Amino acid sequence: MEDPLTPMATQADTFKEERWRDILSILAEHGRIRVGRLAERLGVSEATVRRDLESMQAQGLLQRTHGGAMLPLPTAFEVSFDESQTRALAEKSAIGRCAAALVQEGESIIIESGTTTLEMAKYLSDFRRLTVLTNSLAISKVLSDYEGIEVHVLGGSLRRQSASLVGPWVLEILRTVRVDTAFLGANGLSAEFGISAPNIFTAETRKAMMGAARRRIALADHSKLGVESLYRVAPISSLDVLVTDADASEAQVAEFHSAGIDVVTAT
């Protein structure tokens, strides 16, 4: 007697493959699309679409975004600072607020250049005794209004793409200091490839900042988790804490828990 479950399973697999092909076709046409719109186009539930997108991201077929998906970016792709400031602003602000809550009065900290770390800087106004090293002109400008914060700008060559100061002068200074905590931006974080960056300047600076700190905290929204950029900085096990947003999936967060990293979810 023929097993009735076998053809059903095969049919289900076929339907999934068809959905995946349709999803990739839609992304090729539009670049990115939201979960609700995909569910309408495919005639399935949003829960099914989310499961498909998580599985497809795990295979490197696409990249999850807030509420949807997009085609994966090239490993050397870097969004400009101005463009990045307008992306997922609510999530970045929530992450920044949670990261600022991890700072202790009297600490010395590094804040790496970045739009999410810039949001963090805005929540440090109540500190009365804090020393901050940063390679960001934007962050140093924000902190200059806070009287209780001593600001040290890591001088170097200006990278206009990321509005950051980089190069051998920055690296030399970082070799001579030891701070309590480094708050790091993130272009890509994956269990397999580790912490990564799209260019050698950012990679070198981020690695030096990690080496100068006793505690290392990465600030990254869910779209950065599972992503691999061109240059490897360090294994994710080098981090102590990850601060991410509420849209990070259980599977994404589980990889960091497995590596012994505390995960703080901003809400």
Nearest to 116 by CA among 144, 146, 77, 81: 81
90 plus 47 within the same structural domain: no
pLDDT band at 73 (very low <50, low <70, confident <90, very high): low
- Let me know: does 156 contact 170? Beta carbons within 8 Å: yes
pLDDT band at 59 (very low <50, low <70, confident <90, very high): confident
Helix (H, G, I), strand (E, B) or coil at 170: helix
Render 110-145 in DSSP notation, one character per residue: EE-SSHHHHHHHTT-TT-SSEEEEESBHHHHHHHTT
pLDDT value of residue 56: 85
The total number of structural domains in the chain stands at 2
- Let me know: does 112 contact 184? Beta carbons within 8 Å: yes
Q: pLDDT per residue over 75-89, tens digit each? A: 554 555 445 554 567
pLDDT value of residue 211: 98
Q: Taking the C-alpha atoms of 124, 127, 130 and 131 in order, what is their torsion angle to the nearest 10 degrees?
A: 30
- Higher-pLDDT residue of 85 and 165 is 165
Domain boundary among 32, 48, 70: 70
Helices (H) and strands (E) in the chain, counts: 10, 15
pLDDT value of residue 28: 79
47 plus 150 within the same structural domain: no
Residue 47 sits at the vertex; the CA angle it makes with 218 and 89, to the nearest 5 degrees, is 35
- Let me know: does 238 contact 211? Beta carbons within 8 Å: no
Structural domain including 19 reads 5-70
- The CATH number given to whatever domain includes residue 28 is 1.10.10.10
Nearest to 183 by CA among 218, 139, 131, 225: 218
